[in-house]
A and B are shown apart, each in its own frame.
Chain A
Amino acid sequence: MAQFKDLDPVLHSQLRLALISLLIGVETAEFTYLQEKTGATAGNLSIQITKLKEAGYIEVTKKFRNNYPLTICRITPQGRQKFTEYVKALKEYLNPDQNHKS
């Protein structure tokens, strides 16, 4: 049976997991969209985006639209790979018997 410690610590956090789960389904998403969907505060969201970026799981692009700054996030191939591994590990953790049989 896989242990909890096997789960990627970068992803095994409420907000970071939510962010990656959102970004896996989209090409790009703006900061405001991520904030609306996760319900997080701007400060907290900013910290978690930075952690994901430093781990190489997401790319962050800064732009301007009508003189307002925009933060655009996109999942990287590494982030996609890590998310797949996380889901696989989670599945093994939740269904240990089933995975041993298969």
Chain B
Amino acid sequence: MENEEKLLTGEESLKIITDMINKTKVNISQGSFHLLFWGWLIFFCSLGEYDFASPWLVWLLVIPGVFVSLIYGFVKGRKEVVFTYATSIYIWTWMAFLFASIVLFIVVWENMQFVAPLILTLAAMASFISGIIIKFRPLIIGAITFWIFALVAHFAGPSIAPLAVPAAMLTGYLMPGYILKYRKNHGTI
């Protein structure tokens, strides 16, 4: 685009507008890190419950996890050369999930046995919206599995229900996370 004062035809103008708008895609460079980080963290926390006298203690790992995620997002975000509206919605969807989760933990503090299906339901909503924003079907399907495992966590017997969370992490975070990482590395997303 050297001849900036060249007189454009209507068709040329329309083509420039269309071409440029199509170039502003949502930036998902951080997406796989957060999915894999939280997928593995929650996976091990949920399985780790079985090895502790006080099972809830293992979930304290979530607190430093939030800080790791926020710091990583902030540091990486500062290096981005473009900030799209879709990226902004993506980030704030997950921040809303964080705020809602904090409120939820406070509300159900005395009845922590109910927290798993509720958190999975909230996480599913954030994943579903994120999948729609970045047009990434594995994340959308993962979100649907979260809702299914939320029902399993609530209705299944005590021998099956605790496995709902680690199973949900495999289908909802880890599988989409690895697919996203693979596609990003191969430039197919």
What residues make up the interface of A, taking CB atoms closer than 8 Å to B? 4, 7, 12-18, 21-22, 24-30, 32-33, 37-41, 44, 47-48, 65, 87, 90, 93-94
Contacts and interface: CB of A to CB of B under 8 A. Distances in A.
A61 to B, nearest CB: 12
A94 B2 contact: no
A29 B1 CA distance: 18
B20 interface: yes
Contacts of A37: 20, 23-24
Contact of A16 (B4, B84, B87): B4
B91 to A, nearest CB: 11
A40 B24 CA distance: 17
Interface of B: 1-8, 10-14, 16-17, 19-21, 23-24, 78-79, 81-85, 87-88
Contacts of A28: 82-83
Contact of B1 (A15, A26, A87, A94): A15
A20 B19 CA distance: 12
Chain A CB count within 10 A is highest, among B1, B6, B8, B87, for: B1
A87 B17 CA distance: 9
A15 B20 CA distance: 11
A40 B14 contact: no
Given A21-B17, A22-B23, A48 B84 contact: no
Q: Is the interface of A mostly helix, strand, loop or mixed?
A: helix
A40 B1 CA distance: 5
Given A90-B13, A94-B11, A32 B83 contact: no
Given A22-B24, A24-B21, A40-B1, A14 B6 contact: yes
Given A12-B8, A14-B1, A40-B1, A21 B16 contact: yes
Given A15-B4, A93-B10, A25 B16 contact: no
B6 A25 contact: no
A21 B1 CA distance: 14
Contact of A94 (B14, B81, B85): B14
B2 A44 contact: yes
Given A16-B4, A40-B2, A29 B81 contact: yes
A25 B27 CA distance: 12
A15 B84 CA distance: 20
A12 B12 CA distance: 10
A17 B23 contact: no
Nearest to A95: B10
A26 B8 contact: no
Contacts of B84: 25-27
A87 B78 CA distance: 33
Contacts of B5: 13
Contacts of B19: 18, 21
